Amino acid sequence: MRGSRIIVTGSSSGIGKSVSESLLEKGATVIGLSRNQRTFTPKSDLYRWYNCDISNLKKLSEIFEKVLSDNPRIDGFISNAGFGQFKGFESFSTTQIISYLHSNLISHMIMTRALIPLMKKQKKGKIIFIGSESALQGGQQGSIYSVAKFGLRGFAQALRDECAKSKVHVSIVNPGMVRTDFFDKLSFSPGDDLSNAIEPKDVAEVVLSILKMREGTVIDEINLSPLNKVIKFKKDKS
């Protein structure tokens, strides 16, 4: 792990922040992409931050090209950034659907498309997508979220086969509810008990285990669930 160069999207909060912290502790260089640097300012020369909004696809391509120009060797890519919005399908406008899929699916594909030629040339590299339990089964008011996560899971599966002969590993981690600020703007959150949600550190440990796996073995997919799933609905303050 020490000396590796790993790109982490959404590096300033939640799962991405925890993954970044764990990688820095192991001596890896973290190339962090996020919208807000203030929420994560590690005192480490190994952290390189790029201001990046994944919902702006044009600027995303430009920024990612700069990332690869500045860092001609990339050992791993943790494609994590995204957001959640849950309501009845008919409540989404056409514009909202397109924007949602841009952020939660297409952005992952665009960044991966830019990175794949470099990793194939290196004949090494590990791509890890952070998916969701919503990639395994759709749920009420989660139609658009499930579309994005099912799509990301299918993309990872197809890409894994495409890249195998180039020695590029592709994995996906599908966690259930993780106790992060993901739920701040939603009408529900995990229950208060420690067993009601996954902690970001749990996901980070799984990501590091995939990165450390020997070159001859690929971890296709890992699913994580809280021991006792409890959903707590917030009171409407209006």
CB atoms near residue 118 (< 10 Å)? 16
Give pLDDT tens digits for 168-222: 999 999 998 898 877 777 777 888 899 999 999 999 999 999 999 998 999 999 9
What is the third-level CATH fold of 5-233? Rossmann fold (3.40.50)
What pLDDT is stored for residue 81 in this prediction?
A: 81
Half-sphere exposure of 103 (CA within 13 A, CB side): 18
237 contact partners, CB below 8 Å, separation of at least 6:
none
15 contact partners, CB below 8 Å, separation of at least 6:
80, 130, 175, 178, 180, 200, 203, 204
Question: Per-domain residue ranges for the chain?
Answer: 5-233
Sheet with strand 221-224: strands edge to edge: 47-51, 29-34, 5-9, 76-79, 125-130, 168-175, 221-224
Helix, strand, or coil (residue 224): strand
pTM of the predicted structure, to 2 decimals: 0.92
Q: Which of 106-110, 127-131, 181-185, 212-216 has the lowest mean pLDDT?
A: 181-185
pLDDT at residue 237 is higher than 60: no
